Structure 1
């Protein structure tokens, strides 16, 4: 008996911080939080198309940044600690049950 197919979900993130960086936060942190919360809201494993206007979020996965950071013990190529490590780790955990594909959309390009 085959398991039922995963549902397909489109997730759109647009994190922002007023006066970037705002009080104790940045656009990058807000973008990561938006992705984490969106994935955590899913009740079952799904095929997720995640649409973001954040190069930071998308390139971490599509250009291997995240893989490199993890291999270097959460250090950048320059040997500096990776910013937002707490959120990257939370995002990886939130992604684990799902199959996530990242798509880049231009800033404030609305889908109808």
Structure 2
């Protein structure tokens, strides 16, 4: 296995509101995972999808015992830019304050995600959402289906 491609997505009914997340391994969408929270935001669900996917694959190694490279594919610029533009480096350096000197939103999820990314060989790629990408559509459907229904 040269590289594992995992698609991730989050969804929310209202923002904030009940939220769901989903991930799936390309090219067939199996394995996959999903879950939800009664009270969340879309951004939290986007982050949590990546956390769960990386936790699931954190022990996958190649024939030499090295971590298998993973590419996370997401339609969330929030997630992708955090790593590709190294937002998290600035957040850590600034004591988890953003450029406006405000506390970084979702730091309770960013911190464990950053640890997972640093522990492996993880890259990020953005894909346009709702554009007919089969795998992106699949993880969107998983996330939407995982949103807890209000009773």
Per the normalisation by structure 2, the TM-score is: 0.65
Per-residue deviation at 1:7? Answer: 4.6
Alpha-carbon contact 1:8-1:47 (below 8 Å) kept: yes
Where does structure 1 lack aligned partners over 5 or more consecutive residues?
1-5
Larger CA deviation: 76-85 vs 14-23: 14-23
Q: Which residue is 1:30 aligned to?
A: 45
Q: 1:46·1:99 contact (CA, 8 Å) conserved in 2? A: yes
| Shift in Å, 1:79 | 0.7
1:14 is aligned, of 1, 9, 12, to: 9
Residues 1-112 of structure 1 mapped to structure 2, 5 A cutoff = 7-23=2-18, 24-42=39-57, 43-44=59-60, 45-109=67-131, 110-111=133-134
State the partner residue of 1:3. Answer: none
Q: Which structure 1 residue ranges, 4+ long, deviate > 4 Å from structure 2?
A: none
Q: Any stretches of 5+ residues in structure 2 without a counterpart?
A: 19-38, 61-66, 136-151
Q: How many residues align?
A: 107
TM-score of the aligned structures, taking structure 1 as reference length = 0.86
- Structure with the bigger RCO (C-alpha within 8 Å, sep 6+) is 2
- Structure 2 Cα separation of the partners of residues 63 and 17 of structure 1: 25
CA RMSD of aligned residues (A): 1.6
